[in-house]
């Protein structure tokens, strides 16, 4: 739905679902979002917040579309969240690279 542009809010441009956590009873779904790089530039905190807010505004529409496509007994309540996993991974990689540089510089 996001790739095809079904959600038309400009703040949702470039949204990608990175993961979904669904409760065992399928009543609630946490949808984690990232940016694909084709939307407005910059994935700063303001852009992340704007993306999540845009998707929250589209929550009812998304829920209705999911209900029609999934053919479940109940349409899950959805909530949208920024996926911080990639941010944390990038930070760990940067720290490891810094440690490696320091070790290489100290061994000479």
**What pLDDT, in 10s, does the model give residues 24-79?**
998 999 999 998 865 444 558 888 999 999 999 999 999 988 888 888 888 899 99
Whole-structure pTM value: 0.74
In a domain, 52, yes or no: yes
**Full domain range(s) for residue 32:** 10-83
pLDDT of residue 3: 67
Give φ, ψ of 37 to 5 degrees. 95, -10
Find, among 62, 64, 60, 48, the residue nearest to 11 by Cα: 48
Residues 83-86: contacts with CB under 8 Å, at least 24 apart: 83/18, 83/19, 83/32, 83/33, 83/34, 85/18, 85/19, 85/32, 86/18, 86/34
CATH number of the domain where residue 73 is located: 3.30.300.20
Crossing angle of helices 45-57 and 59-70, in 10° steps, is 60
Contact 34, 83 (CB under 8 A): yes
In a domain, 23, yes or no: yes
User: Who has greater pLDDT, 80 or 1?
Assistant: 80
pLDDT of residue 57: 94
Least confident interval from 3-7, 17-21, 55-59, 62-66 = 3-7
Mean pLDDT throughout 1-7? 74
In a domain, 103, yes or no: no
pLDDT of residue 58: 92
Cα–Cα distance list, 37 to 47, 73, 100, 102, 108 (Å)? 12, 36, 29, 32, 40
Token pair for residue 29? Answer: 């779904």
- Please give the tally of structural domains in the chain: 1
pLDDT over 60 at 96, yes or no? yes
In a domain, 94, yes or no: no
Name residue 30's beta-bridge partners: 21, 79
């Amino acid at each position: 739905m996001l790739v095809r542009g079904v959600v038309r809010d400009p703040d949702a441009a470039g949204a990608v679902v990175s993961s979904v956590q669904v409760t065992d009873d399928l009543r609630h779904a946490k949808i984690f979002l990232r940016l694909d790089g084709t939307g407005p530039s910059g994935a700063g905190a303001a852009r992340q917040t704007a993306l999540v807010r845009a998707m929250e505004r589209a929550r009812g529409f998304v829920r209705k579309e999911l209900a029609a496509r999934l053919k479940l007994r109940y349409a899950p309540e959805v909530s949208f969240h920024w996926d911080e996993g990639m941010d944390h991974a990038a930070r760990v990689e940067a720290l490891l690279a810094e440690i490696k540089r320091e070790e290489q510089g100290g061994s000479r």
